Structure 1
Amino acid sequence: MGKFLSLILILSGLLAGGAMYYLQIYGFYEDVELQPGRDVMLVPLGEETAKPIRYSGFEAIDAGSSPIRYRACFRTDLTPEALAQVFTLSEQKEPRNAPGWFDCFDAAAIGAALANGHAQSFLSAKNISYGVDRIVAVTDDGRGYVWHELNDCGQKAYDGTVVGEECPPRPEAGENN
């Protein structure tokens, strides 16, 4: 009887581990529905409302389980230098990893391009979800990437630090932000 119970426990653990792995890597992600002309937008200098830029080959994934799971890739004929003259730069230089199966988004390569000056990051949307900004990076060769990153208010809110007056009010529990 002990061997049978051990076998059941081992199989249950393997099944639960396999299910958890699948759900984290594949299960919650969905393809993002294209919104031509609105998929890639940047905030102009001195303004708050984002404006679209020219792009092609857009593909993106997202998951409703977390506001920071959004990842996207695209191509553009605009250079980082030209964009930097018109749009707000971002200090974000380390994109979050994407699932391995989303081939176009290599966070390590994007981070290296940002670090060595072969790419520039821009603000796309402030507080797209409470405490989360959308960041767009464009490389010298016209590849572009989009991800969500916690801003200062989001980092404070999620680590338990007092948020303070400079942050917008946090949405109520029933709101979808």
Structure 2
Amino acid sequence: MNGKIVGSFILITALIAGVAIYWLQVYAYYDEIAADRAEMTMVNIATGQPEPVLIEGFEGIDGTSSPIRYRACFTLPLRTGTLTETYEPYPDPTPLTAPGWFDCFDAVAIGTALESGEAMAFLSQHDIHDGVDRVVAVFPDGRAFAWHQLNEKYQD
């Protein structure tokens, strides 16, 4: 009889801990970024400095617990030809997955488009946090996605 009580207690405690850990990882540390506070920059090839770019339809999330939790979806009215002539390309873009509830950002689809050449990646800001760059991927139709990625400081 005592074994059933102890076993039940351990099972219930493990279940509660599992739900709490899941919630903390997927929901707790993310904050939505208000569209009216959203700013996006891209590094100009000529100056080497980030400059603001016009964006529309911004949706974004960020977290205070990690510098690489940032994800954003928006539309960039500039077309690919203008972008490639003006802004610095990003050499090894690797979009990181977003929580499932932030459904505008599909890291697998973005990564596939980058690998196939359908989308192009640009440096938004170098060292936005220590060892972390902001990267922007742009599709030919103007859809754009941004994320934070570890840079050469923390690469293998």
> What is the CA–CA distance in structure 2 between the aligned matches of 1:145 and 1:6, rounded to whole Å?
48
1:118 aligned partner, one-letter code: E
Residue equivalent to 2:20:
19
Residue equivalent to 2:68:
68
Q: Does 1:138 align with 2:138?
A: yes
2:66 aligned partner, one-letter code: S
Percentage of matched positions with identical amino acids:
43
**1:1-12 aligned within 5 A:** 1-12=2-13
Higher strand share: 2
Shift of 1:76: 1.8
1:148 aligned partner, one-letter code: H
Residues matched between the structures, number: 155
Cα RMSD between the aligned structures? 1.4
Shift of 1:87: 0.6
Whether contact under 8 Å (1:92, 1:135) holds in the other structure is: no
Residue equivalent to 1:93:
93
Q: Does 1:29 align with 2:33?
A: no
TM-score relative to the length of structure 2: 0.93
List runs of 5+ in structure 1 lacking aligned partners.
157-177
The farther-off stretch of 85-94 and 67-76 is 85-94
> What is the CA–CA distance in structure 1 between the aligned matches of 2:46 and 2:76, rounded to whole Å?
23
Residue equivalent to 1:58:
58
TM-score relative to the length of structure 1: 0.83
Higher relative contact order (CA 8 A, sep 6+): 2
2:21 aligned partner, one-letter code: M
> What is the CA–CA distance in structure 2 between the aligned matches of 1:94 and 1:50, rounded to whole Å?
20
Shift of 1:33: 3.3
Whether contact under 8 Å (2:94, 2:149) holds in the other structure is: no
List runs of 5+ in structure 2 lacking aligned partners.
none
> What is the CA–CA distance in structure 2 between the aligned matches of 1:155 and 1:33, rounded to whole Å?
32
Shift of 1:35: 5.0
Shift of 1:154: 2.7
2:16 aligned partner, one-letter code: L
**1:106-117 aligned within 5 A:** 106-117=106-117
The farther-off stretch of 73-82 and 135-144 is 73-82
